[in-house]
Chains A and B, each alone.
Chain A
Amino acid sequence: MSLGEPARQVRLWPRFIVFALIIALVVATLGLRLFTLQVVSGGYYAGLARENRIRLQPVRAPRGLIFDRTGRQLVDNVATFAVKARPADMPLSQRPAVIERLATLLDISAADITEALDRAAANRFDLANVARGVPEEIALIIREEHLELPGVEVIVEPQREYPYGGLVAHILGFTGAVTPDDLARVGSLGYLHDDTIGKQGVEATFEEVLRGDYGVEQIEVDARGEAIRLLRTLQPAEPGNSLELSIDVDIQRDAETALRWAMDRIGLEQGVIMAMNPQTGEVLAMVSLPSYDNNLFARGISTADYQALLDAPGAPLRNHAIVDHVPPGSTYKLVAGAGGLQDGILTDRTILQTRAYLSIGSTKYWDWNRQGFGPLNIYDGFGRSSDTFFFQIAGELGIDRLAHWGSQFGFGQRTGIDLPGEVPGILPTNDWKMSLMNEPIYPGEVYQAGIGQGYNSFPPIQVLNAFAALANGGRLLKPQIVRRILGPNGEVVDEIEPQLIRQLPFDADVLRTMRRAARRVVTIRQTYNLVDLPIVVAGKTGTAEFGVRDAKGRLPYHSWFAGFVPKDPWKKDSDPNGVEAVSRTDSELAVLAFAYDSRTTGNAATEIVKYFLQLHYDLDVDLRQDWILERDNFYGQ
């Protein structure tokens, strides 16, 4: 203490010392902390700072295209505007205002936007999809208002456009925004939270092929995550490969025209028509009506539109060719016939007596014409589709042997077609019924099974595939939608070979007999004037009852026709009945039509196939007959 200080201060000097010590303490503490952060942990924080501004950014690969077998492009990648949001960049206080403004601009509900943001809540730094396919003027407004819309980004991204729309919608399917479920399934494959993924059709089954490999680049970003510059590309994006389908758009269109004509004429809710090359298993046409516009999904379908599609009659979103269980009806007589011949229950010379009905106990099992056809061999039994004829064969075979032959033809198993959602069907056996209902199959049910009724139910693709195997002489092939994988420059990367499911264990003459019997179906005019076409057609009709009896005790029914056309289909004078033609195994066209709940005077499916063949072979004749398509719950074959 110096003498110069006021006496008052001298008294207070300990307090000044304490205060000075506090200053020293504060400064020392701050200095020590500074030392710890900067000198001791400086390297660690320098690393954090680098990571802060260097971000790895995925580079999307252009998705592969899809072509039909003639090279027509079935899908386009078009640049569209997508509105996305990074929840982490959207302050909570501004969130309601941002959501409300977006809802107004995009004309979608605030609830949908909130849901989209919340879905991404676990990954607040990732972009979440708000809307895709946004009109340019709206996108520009959102960009201009970016100061009022923090965390919202407008991004140009490719979107699928399907120029053929509903014509091939069930085959192509569509892409859509990944869902949390998708991510859980494929997350390890580098999918982004705002990614798109194939949802249906070949877009889904060939997702890995089409998607390509995303690249990675290192960018420098500022605190808002906005890219300042590209530092380097760690891994370039590899474009996806393209698909060449076995589908021929011309055949597809002919098939759709034929089916649509009959459906409109009758007033049907749903129907299926398919064409396949029996030599390769390639599906040439697959039409399930009603269809839908897959562009709606590619653009991001609204909840209302989606609900409308779910509620629409005929279930347009379902590919009835592969996802429905339906009774095959008399088309299934192929199994009983071929199985009976192979097991020696009958030969092609055996005559069976057909009657009005067969009795088991007090129950009568009627033939469809209610009077029987008298004595018939296999050709006429199949040709007339006599029920009592096949009751007898089925009875001899028994349910398990019948099921054995059914499963040889591929019934009750997924064909493995390269489309999602295929069902296996139901092929009844004793074991199956025991496990399900704890009782064996009754003899009457064996009869039912022999004519494709009762428990038997399969997706239409199995019926077509069985007839394709009949047509090619016994090779059961996997139906294929995609025949080639093409590289980005159109080079063939992979040729998808026909895949044999099994060689059917039938003698060649058994199958030849059944092909001739199928020709007999046509020549004895069971299919009316189909025989008058200038080409040779063989096949089998079916009338499959289902559902609940009406007031007159009648059941509604579906119509089937499954058959094939020999390679050189034109009728020859040397072979007036086409028997030689169908004896061959060179058919390149198997065809199936299925009219759901048809209830027509005649077999509607036959008419559909007839019209399709007229269109496909560009025939000069038009043998369509309107009376066949009258609604008249007749009791069919």
Chain B
Amino acid sequence: MRNRVIWSIFVTVWSIAVLAPVSLAQTVQTQEGGQGRGRGGGPRRNVPPPPGPPHDSHDLNGIWLQYGGGFGGAAGGRPKVGSEWTKDELPLTPAGLSKLNGNHSGKGPRADVPAKGNDPLSGANVPGLLRTLIYGRPFEFVQTQDKVVQLFEWFRIWREIWTDGRKMPEDPGPRFYGYSVAKWDGNILDVETFGLDPRLWGDEWGMPFTENMRVRERWHRLDRDNLELNVTFTDPEYYTRPFASETQRFRLQTKGMADAEMLEVIFTPMDEQDFNKNIRDPSSLGIAGPKSGVRNANH
């Protein structure tokens, strides 16, 4: 009898101590975590990181990495008509919804196998500004007297954010990374971006936009280690009203950290075609690849 009591207590305590944290972690991974960067389940995106020492907010220089994991295959419980940028449903017009429905991604709440999709990335096209900003690979800000240069690890591409007082040109597009002008609003770099090429997607899930979308980015360095970005999207043809992103948080990467040095990450057509032939198409379509076989459907 005594042994049964001890055993029951052991089972109960073990279950709570071991399984509950795993379940929570898995829930976090499924809902908000995951591995947008191929990492282990990191902190949730909507949990502020620890503060750092004070720092000049007008100094954005440094290599920054998004804080918090990706959404994983389960899309973090986001709405079907949703985006990685916001937890709310996208306020789409009928034209915008039609465009969204025509964008078939391998990720997110409307995901299908990539071989059946039309993700522009599958053809080794560049991801463009918006998708790069939400994706979670490191970037570096380098400030000069008249501009802030943002260097992106993903595709090893950069853009200029002009701070010399110039006005936005009337028709700067189409550009995959847009045309950006900015001014300081107190401690916040207030950026206007226009002229984005609408053939690309606004996020990994196929968020649509037109060539007339205006993007307002507000970059705020809180302290030495922490940077925040809030974005407002205005695109009357596809969205019934301007809508705001959730706050995106970034951590400074310093020497010794894995992301303190940006790598060369370039998807070329020759590599993309090879990957599609060997991995994407066989896995999606159930066909033999040049170097792999297939079992029958009843395996």
Q: A and B bound?
A: no
Residues of B within 8 A of A (CB): none
Residues of A within 8 A of B (CB): none
